[in-house]
Structure 1
Amino acid sequence: MAPNAKHVFYVRYLPSAASYMAVLAQRPDVQLEKLETDSPEDAVSPVVSRAHVYQIGASRQIIPPRLQVNAALLARMPNLIAASSNGAGYDTIDVDACTAAGVAVVNQSGGNKEAVAEHALAMMMTLSKRIVEADRHARTGQAIDRANYIGRELNGRTLGVIGIGNVGGNLARMCKAAFNMRILAYDPLLTAQQVAARGAEKVELDDLLAQSDYVSVHCPLTKQSRGMMGAAQFARMKPEAYFITTARGFIHDEAALADALKAKRIAGAGLDVWEDEPPPHDHPLMAFDTVMVSPHVAGSTIEARENMGRIAAEQVLAILDGKKPPRLINPEVWPAYRDRFTRILGFAPEE
């Protein structure tokens, strides 16, 4: 082991093991360790106690509670300076607990923006053209009345984007360029000028829901966004509108969505994220022909995974070298973080 080694660990998987390890391999002073979800405590304790960075998956179903970044685990990690999520989401990290402990939280936002935006657009097109419905019926061998599968065009219609960051902004760009769509955006974190720079009009959520032909969710799961799309919100949407989400489960109320679809208050939905992942085959939302489903794979392309692995590893090295990470989720931690970093690693990070 190299003198003054810096320790990074992960549980079960990396965003892309090959690209992540290739970047870290250039640094003999950085040691990468792996734990499994069922690793015994005598294996977990030494790894977490010496860790400087935890590279953690964002799936609540994969990472067990005992290995999620919360106050209990942080108490066992006296040398931890950063928790780094594998993707854009950070569901397995308690950001408030990290901030209180002086630990930086980073994600890999933007690393899969092309993949996720393309997936959302694919869902919009497939639902509008009723391709899944027609495909299912054509496979039954029964007679097909083509009049039952008349679709709609995207050209000139209105897209409502909830969260117009990396993915939402990319989707807005695609839809404006390809289909001359009007773009509305609800994003409390951005000014009207910033939203306009992304090609959209900044509006309140109720206005977006009432005017949009497609509502696409691209915000992270936070205390503020949990349950954002419920019965009242679906009731405000147009009857011919579609709801799309490639963000996170729990942002929309699944039971309320099923009720809205059953009552035909909206035309359909494209769902890549779920409260339980993967969703059970008998999930109520699976019963609707007007619902297109995928098991949280919007960002899973070869290109996106390689990119995510690379930028995750590069950000980890930047952190260990004392640089301020480019995708810092809790910037308010920086003063306390600098004190802890200096004490743990023996040199001060940048101001």
Structure 2
Amino acid sequence: MAANPKIVVRFNFPYDPAMDERFAREPDIALRTCQREAADGRIWADLAEAHVYLISSAKDELPRQWFATADLLARCPKLLCVSTSGAGYDTVDVDACTKAGVIVVNQAGMNAGAVAEHTLGMILSLSKRIGESDRRLRRERGFAREEVMGCDIAGKVLGIVGIGHVGTRVARLADAFGMTVLAYDPYVAADEIVARGARPAALDDLLAQSDFVSVHCPRTAETLGMISERAFGRMKKGAMLVTTARGGIVDEAALYAALASGRLGGAGVDVWDREPPPLDHPLLTLDNVIATFHTAGVTVEARRNMAAQAAEQIVGLLKGGRPPRLVNPEALPAYRARFEAILGLSSAAPDVLHRL
């Protein structure tokens, strides 16, 4: 190990071994794992030395005192980068990081295939009423097969809210099933939406025309509560909703009301306001709801890819490169100055950028 190593700090959540293996190949990088059960003083001592803080993306997995807030940043004078373990960054105050000259990176796209497959799995299960059939077969006899008769998804309309990494994968899978795909994304140009496999649509039009609506946008101040009572009122009677994005984008109380009233035909919910949801959550009482525990992106392959790529991105930026999955590029000027002052290296060297 080098005399003055670059220090990466994380908490003791499960990580694929690919992460440790990648860091082990760098003699000047030290990976420290904090025990969540440890005394606060021990954790703060490690964070105060950190150049990179590898933070959980799951908002209900990490105690809030360890969120990357202005208060935490003030106690971490050497911190150059906050790297989330997934695509989301609900545990990070991005504005505070930018003001402090700290870059934020995520793992956007690294588990997109897994989330897209989960989304299609939910759509198929809802349309074929697989969950309902399974529950009834386990608890009763005497019902007719026609009572759990489903529908084909071929020829149906899928509306995608947010056509980024995951939404694009979902569009391609849906096309293979013979679905018509619409997409709403105010940050993607119409011709690019077409290139990603969907027809551009305004949100209200998408809601009104879709047989299935699938949510794939990030959780931001703009999107919190976006799929609301008003949105459900715009949807076709009997349409179905799937959300594998982030808790809080869909208004859960409004979703329950739309399902209980028969306005919607079913829902697949992977992400929740509180994770896991309480056992008495109203949505869990409905047979036409498929509920999973924020597991859409939790597969063996996705976890391995995210761990390996998170480590690769951190190694690259600690060598002076610009990370490929940068959330706050506006922080770069201040970050570069701090990088050079703290590590004595020049940031964004052209040869490193080429390799990234």
Verify same fold: TM over 0.5: yes
Does the CA-based 8 Å contact 1:50-1:79 persist in structure 2? yes
> Which residue of 2 is the match for residue 194 of structure 1?
192
What is aligned with 1:332?
A: 330
Is the 8 Å Cα contact of residues 107 and 327 (structure 1) preserved in structure 2?
yes
Deviations 1:210-257 (A, max 9, x none): 111111111111111111111000111111211001111001111010
Deviation at 1:343, TM superposition (A): 1.0
SS at match of 1:110: coil
Where does residue 309 of structure 1 map in the other structure? Answer: 307
Whether 2:237 is the aligned partner of 1:269: answer no
Q: Which runs of 5+ in 1 are unaligned?
A: none
**2:5 aligned partner:** 5
| Residue 36 of structure 1: how far off its partner (Å) | 2.3
2:79 corresponds to:
80
Q: Is the counterpart of residue 151 in structure 1 residue 146 in structure 2? A: no
Residue equivalent to 1:65: 64
In structure 1, the residue matched to 2:19 is 20
RMSD over equivalenced CA pairs, Å: 1.1
Q: CA deviation at 1:341?
A: 1.0
Cα distance in 2, alignment partners of residues 327 and 80 from structure 1: 18
One-letter identity of the residue aligned with 1:12? N
TM-score by length of 2: 0.96
Deviations 1:178-219 (A, max 9, x none): x22111111111101111110111221111111111111111
Aligned-partner residue type, residue 233 of structure 1: A
Distance (Å, rounded) in 2 between the aligned partners of 1:119 and 1:45:
38
Give 1:45 deviation, angstroms: 2.2
Taking structure 1 as reference, are residues 14 and 334 closer, same or farther at Cα in structure 2, changes over 3 Å only?
Answer: farther
**Hey, what does 2:233 align to over in structure 1?**
235
- Structure 1 residue aligned with 2:159: 160
**Structure-2 separation of matches of 1:70 and 1:157:** 44
Q: Against the structure 1 CA distance between its residues 14 and 345, is the aligned structure 2 distance closer, same or farther, given a 3 Å change threshold?
A: farther
Distance 1:121 1:263 in 2: 25
User: What amino acid sits opposite 2:21 in the alignment?
Assistant: A
Q: C-alpha separation between the residues in 2 aligned to 1:54 and 1:253?
A: 32
Measure, in 1, the Cα distance between the counterparts of 2:251 and 2:323. Answer: 34
**Matched residues, percent identical?**
48
For structure 2, the residue ranges without an aligned partner over 5 or more in a row are 350-356
Q: Which amino acid aligns with 2:67?
A: Q
The structure 1 segments of at least 4 consecutive aligned residues displaced by more than 6 Å after TM superposition are none
Query: What secondary structure sits across from 1:216 in the alignment?
Result: strand
Residue type of the partner of 1:279? Answer: P
